[in-house]
Amino acid sequence: DAKTTQPTSMDCAEGRAANLPCNHSTISGNEYVYWYRQIHSQGPQYIIHGLKNNETNEMASLIITEDRKSSTLILPHATLRDTAVYYCIVRVERGGSNYKLTFGKGTLLTVNP
């Protein structure tokens, strides 16, 4: 699986958009970008994933650059409850033969009042 690079920490004001970048310059054509977050001492929570098109769900939006070498997770209106470590992971999505998520250290997002 391709390696990812994320900033160690970021701050965001409550109510503003939080934009979390991720670099994955060695991503392969069949690798997806996944985002998870982990609130202190809880299990990681799946947020969103995508291949090359931008994706949006009820939690966030994922913007992937045209060359797929980087992506941005956007939380449109951050709340204090969004304070967490955010992990960007790339992996191949295919049934049966892919099995693991490779977590880095992620980005600690702190939402301030």
Partner 1 sequence: ETGVTQSPTHLIKTRGQQVTLRCSSQSGHNTVSWYQQALGQGPQFIFQYYREEENGRGNFPPRFSGLQFPNYSSELNVNALELDDSALYLCASSRVGYEQFFGPGTRLTVL
44 binds partner 1 (CB under 8 A): yes
**Tokens read off for 26:** 């060695």
Q: What's the CA gap between 108 and 75, in Å, rounded?
A: 14
Helix (H) or strand (E) holding 108: strand 107-112
Which one, 1 or 14, has the nearer CB to partner 1? Answer: 1
Which one, 76 or 104, has the nearer CB to partner 1? Answer: 104
100 binds partner 1 (CB under 8 A): yes
Q: Among 29, 41, 53, 67, which residue sits at the site for partner 1 (rule: CB under 8 A)?
A: 41
* Pairing mode, strands 9-13 and 107-112: parallel
In whole angstroms, how close is the CB of 36 to partner 1 at the nearest point?
8
Q: What's the CA gap between 13 and 1, in Å, rounded?
A: 34
98 binds partner 1 (CB under 8 A): yes
Q: How far is CA 107 from CA 45, 52, 98, 99, in A?
A: 14, 22, 25, 24
What ranges in the chain are assigned the alpha helix state H? none
Q: Among 29, 53, 66, 105, which residue sits at the site for partner 1 (rule: CB under 8 A)?
A: 105
Q: Among 25, 26, 30, 45, which residue sits at the site for partner 1 (rule: CB under 8 A)?
A: 45
| Residues at the interface with partner 1 (CB under 8 A) | 34, 41-46, 49, 87, 93-106
